[in-house]
Amino acid sequence: MEKHPAHIDWEKELAKNLNRFPERKEKFTNHGGEEVPRLALPDKIDDAYVENIGFPGQYPYTRGVQPTMYRGRFWTMRQYAGFSTAAESNKRYRYLLEQGTTGLSIAFDLPTQIGYDSDHQMAAGEVGKVGVAIDSLADMEILFDQIPLDKVSTSMTINAPAAILLAMYVAVGEQQGIESSKLKGTIQNDILKEYVARGTYIFPPKPSLRLITDIFKWCTEHTPDFNTISISGYHIREAGSTAVQEVAFTLANGITYVQAALDAGLELDNFAPRLSFFFNASSDILEEVSKFRAARRLWARIMKERFNAQKPSSRMLRFHTQTAGYTLTAQQIDNNIVRVALQALSAVLGGTQSLHTNSRDEALALPTEDSVRTALRTQQVIAHESGVASSVDPLAGSYFIEQLTDRIEAQASELIAKIDKAGGVVPAIEDGFIQRQIENSAYEYQQEIEKGERIIVGVNEFKIEEKTKPSLLRVDPEVEKAQVQSLKELRQRRDNRKVEEALANLSECALSSSNLMPEILAAVKTYATLGEICQVLRKVFGEYRG
C-alpha cells in the first residue's frame, strides 16, 4: 500500500485554493448558525482510511480526482443537442452558449452514426430526426459557424465513424486558424458497448479496435488535450443494466481498449491520461453516488495493479454524466424536471467532471428551447444555490455511502473476473454473456413496474387524466429534401479527381498496418463524404452482423 504523504499535501492544496478564492473561507456557517469545515475529515487518519477513502485528488480517488473539486472549478455544464440541419443546430448551440452552457455536446442523426450519407436509401426517413445530419466537412463548417473552437470544449457522441467526425472537427479548427493542439473535447469512440447495448456499429470488432487505437496514437501527437474515448456505461444502463453491471461492463470495456492500445505498441502513460468515461445518473441518489465512487476507485486499482500505470493521471477515472433517459415519462412530463434535478444532484455529489441534464419533454420529442433552458438552469441552481459545491465530497464517511461503495466495487470486480475467465469482452459479447445479463436485469425491472412493486409516479400510481398536450418540437419533413439537395450540389462543385485520389489512398492504407487518421483527414479536406469514406472502409474491413 502506498503511504499517504499525509495531511501536509492536502493542507497545501487547501491553502492554494483559499488564496485563489479568498471569499470562500475555510469554514462556512450553516443554517443552524454553526461553523462547518469545507472538507470533512475523521478525528483519526490511519492507513485503512487512506487505502479505501483517502483524500480528494489522491489515489485511489474515491473522493474525487481533484483536491478541491468544485471549490476550484465547477463541472462543465454541457447540453446534448443536435437536430435537423447543421444551420438549425448551430442556432441551438449559440443559444445554449448565451444561456451559460460551458461545453457543447453534439447529437448526430442515425444515418451519420452508422456511416451513411443523407441520400442513401438506408437514410430515408431518418435524416435530422434524432440529431444533426453531417455528410461532409461543409456541414461541419456550418455547424460551428461563429463558434470559436479554441474557446469551447466539444463532446461528440459518435462511435463507428468517430475518426471521420474528429477529422472534420480538426479541419474546421484549421480553417479558424486554430492549431489542433489547442482543441479540447471528447469523442465517444466506444464501439464495444454498441455491440451489446446500442447497435450503431459498422465494422467487426478487430478493425474497429484498430480505428480506436489509431485515434489514440494520432491524438497523443496532434490533439493532446482531446479525450480520445468516452467509455460509456450510459447506454448499458439505458438498455436495462443494474448499477453494478454498468460499472463492471464499462470498466471491462476500458480494460479491453487499454490492452488493445498496448498490443498496438502504444506507451500506457502516453494515452491513458486522455481516457474518459460516461455514466448514467439514475434516481436512487445514494446508490448512484456510491456507484461513481466505486467506479473511480476500482479503475484506479485496475490501472495501478493490472497495468502498472505510473502517472497519477493515468489512474484517474474522469467522467461525464447524463441524467437517465429511461426514467423520463410521457405522462405528466413536469415530473421529469424533478427526476432530472435529483439525478443531476447525484452526479455532482458523486464527483462528475461534466454533466448533461435531460429535458422534460424528451420522452415525447426532441426538446424545445424552453425545456433545454430549464434543464440547464437545473445545473446552475445546483452549482450556485444548493451549497453542495462548497464542500469537497460532503458525503464521505457516511456509513451507508461507504458500505454501499464497497459492495458495488466488490460485485463489479466479481463480474469483471467472470469476463476475464471467458477470455475478455469480445468473446463475452460473441457468446452473448453480457447481453443476457443486461436483458435479464431489464426484464426484472419491467416486471417490478408491472406488478406494482416499483412505483413510477404518474405511470402506475398517482395517475391523472391530462387535458392539455405540451408544445413539442417537430422536425420539418422538408429537411431531408434540402439536405439531399445540398449534398448533390457539393458533389458537383468539389474537385472529384482529388476526392477519388484521397479515397484510393485511404483504401491502400486500410489494407496496410499504417495509421488511418492522416488519410482520413486528407479525404475529409477534399470534401469526400462520410458515406464515401465509410464505404471504402466497409470494402476492406467488412460489416458486422450482430
Q: Where are the alpha helices (DSSP H) in 232-334?
A: 234-238, 243-263, 268-271, 285-301, 312-315
pLDDT for residue 32: 55
Instruction: Output the average pLDDT for the chain.
Output: 92
pLDDT for residue 335: 98
Q: Pairing state of beta strands 27-29 and 35-37?
A: antiparallel
Q: State the average pLDDT over residues 161-165.
A: 98
By CB atoms closer than 10 A (0-12, 13-18, 19+), residue 94 is: middle
Q: Using 50, 70 and 90 to split pLDDT, how confident is the model at 34?
A: low
pLDDT for residue 41: 67
Which of 48-62, 188-202, 335-349, 436-450 has the weakest average pLDDT? 48-62
Place of cell 461543409: 138
One-character DSSP codes across 297-309: HHHHHIIIIIT--
Q: Which residue has the higher pLDDT, 46 or 108?
A: 108
Nearest-angstrom CA–CA distance, 424 and 426: 6
Q: Has residue 27 got a pLDDT over 60?
A: no
pLDDT for residue 37: 61
Q: Has residue 331 got a pLDDT over 50?
A: yes
pLDDT for residue 71: 87
pLDDT digits (tens, 9 = 90+) for 6-22: 333 444 544 444 444 34
Nearest-angstrom CA–CA distance, 34 and 234: 40
Closest CA to 293 of 11, 481, 4, 60: 60
Identify the structural domains of the chain with CATH numbers, from first to last.
69-384+392-426 (3.20.20.240), 480-541 (no CATH)
Nearest-angstrom CA–CA distance, 511 and 508: 5
Residue type, 350: G
Residue type, 415: L
pLDDT digits (tens, 9 = 90+) for 446-477: 999 999 999 999 999 999 999 888 888 888 88
pLDDT for residue 47: 74
Q: Has residue 23 got a pLDDT over 70?
A: no
Contact predicate 351/335, CB 8 Å: no
Which of 80-94, 151-165, 230-244, 516-530 has the weakest average pLDDT? 80-94
pLDDT for residue 95: 93
Strand spans (E) along 99-225: 103-107, 153-157, 184-187
Output the furthest CA–CA distance in the chain (Å, rounded): 75
Nearest-angstrom CA–CA distance, 483 and 179: 30
Q: Using 50, 70 and 90 to split pLDDT, how confident is the model at 26?
A: low
Closest CA to 331 of 431, 469, 232, 430: 469
* Cα 376-396-6 angle, rounded to 5 deg: 120
C-alpha grid cell, residue 415: 463480474
Contact predicate 528/503, CB 8 Å: yes
pLDDT digits (tens, 9 = 90+) for 392-446: 899 998 999 999 999 999 999 999 999 999 999 999 999 999 999 999 999 999 9
Q: Has residue 537 got a pLDDT over 80?
A: yes
Q: Pairing state of beta strands 153-157 and 103-107?
A: parallel
β-sheet with 153-157: strand ranges across: 226-227, 184-187, 153-157, 103-107, 76-81, 354-356, 319-323, 275-281, 229-232
By CB atoms closer than 10 A (0-12, 13-18, 19+), residue 506 is: buried
Nearest-angstrom CA–CA distance, 359 and 368: 8
| Percentage of residues in the chain having pLDDT higher than 70 | 92
Query: 263-269 long-range contacts, Cβ below 8 Å, gap at least 24?
Result: 264/210, 264/213, 264/217, 266/213, 266/216, 266/217, 266/220, 268/307, 268/308, 268/309, 268/310, 268/314, 269/309, 269/310, 269/311, 269/314
Strand spans (E) along 317-387: 319-323, 354-356
Q: Has residue 1 got a pLDDT over 90?
A: no
pLDDT for residue 48: 73
Q: State the average pLDDT over residues 142-170.
A: 96
Q: Using 50, 70 and 90 to split pLDDT, how confident is the model at 39?
A: low
